[in-house]
Amino acid sequence: MRVLVLLLFGLCALPANGMSVYWGGVSFSDWTNRELNYPNLASMMCSGTCSGGHLNQWALEALDQASFDYFDVSMDYINGREIEGVIMTPMINAETVSAYQDVTGDQTSYIHVYRIYASVIFFEFGTKRFISARPVVLQYTDTLPNEASEAEIKQNFRRLVEVGIAQSNLFTELFQKAKSTKPFTFSQKYARISDLQVSDSALSALGSMDRVDVWADQVKRQFEAFLIDATDAPLVPSMSTSEMTQEFVATFADASVTIKMPEEVPFNINVTVDNLRKIEQADRRQKTLCHAVALRLEIDGLLSQIFNERLVRGRESCSVMTIDKQPDDGYYFTLSLLSLLKQASEQFGETPNKDFIARAIPDNPKAHQNFVRAWESAFKPEL
């Protein structure tokens, strides 16, 4: 399958202090269906003179303030017939907004969670090879007495991408993640998150949540960002489809080029959300509410499985609240699951946290050694 990526090139050039990559402009992982998949962000895309600002303008404003350790960024035009060059593009993979009811007595409020899933993608123009990606999941949470209007939703997405509105900005975060990237070095051991499954018992705990497949894809993308943050491993990124991406098409002013993902990904990561369990205990005017989660994490190599552990989050998922509060279980199960995945990601290294592992994997006293071995095999940076 192919994913269309539209790349827009600027007019000026930044001074080069070392090796340079070409600026590709902001892109979407599914350009053809951008208005369907990214209705708010796609409306902020503009390639010409636009009033009120647009994605490429804000990206360039953030780029002006960014610095990179191993490369500079050139704004020169690229001719589609050239045979050499590394392209850098901030690629938007998904936008989501979820509204959760939070009921206390006779008062109902709505927790809105806005997320943008994006990556800085590097690929080689001459050989058409993918090099690396640095993902960011940017989130903004807002609580309102009613569900947000379309105008409010669009404005809140804008606050995540326009430079200067909020403290955290998508493009600033992306360029910070790319600061230490070496875009002229190819890895020999790419990994990818191949699958994230939700068991039947976990599905029933999620209740009336719409589009569990979309929810699972969001969790998968977040886990991908956690792993790269924790290990700096070269993961093949998730795109906006459930199919495994093998290539995508970059479209320039005068040509289009098929960019090839690694043909063989040596390490595949699989997650199964095994169980979600709500535990509630009342005590007079307050109650303790726990949203416990259990998951299985597996990593398969080319010839054998290198990691297989079941992790749980129990007491850490508990909070105390008033007896008449009725929180949305989907919201709190998501928070608990993401917390467990983040902490699990941080154990892949030379010195995993044995206290966390003892709580999360109480039945395997040697689990910390498995994290170290998996890190050495699949995630340890190459020299």
Domains within the chain, CATH numbers bracketed: 1-96+118-136+148-184+236-262 (no CATH), 191-233+266-383 (3.30.160)
- Any idea which residue has 């007019």 for tokens? 11
- Report how far residue 105's alpha carbon sits from residue 237's, in angstroms, rounded to the nearest whole number: 44
CA-based nearest residue to 92, from 73, 62, 119: 119
DSSP E strand stretches across 105-175:
107-124, 129-144
pLDDT score at 9: 43
Rounded mean pLDDT, 47-57: 74
pTM higher than the cut 0.75: yes
- Encode pLDDT of 311-349 as tens digits: 999 999 999 988 888 888 889 999 999 999 999 999 999
- Encode pLDDT of 124-168 as tens digits: 877 878 888 899 999 999 999 999 999 999 999 999 999 888 778
Torsion over CA: 323, 324, 329, 330 (sign): negative
- Encode pLDDT of 283-295 as tens digits: 888 999 999 999 9
Band of residue 298 on the pLDDT scale cut at 50, 70, 90: very high
pLDDT score at 2: 42
pLDDT score at 26: 86
Query: Is the per-residue pLDDT at 230 higher than 70?
Result: yes
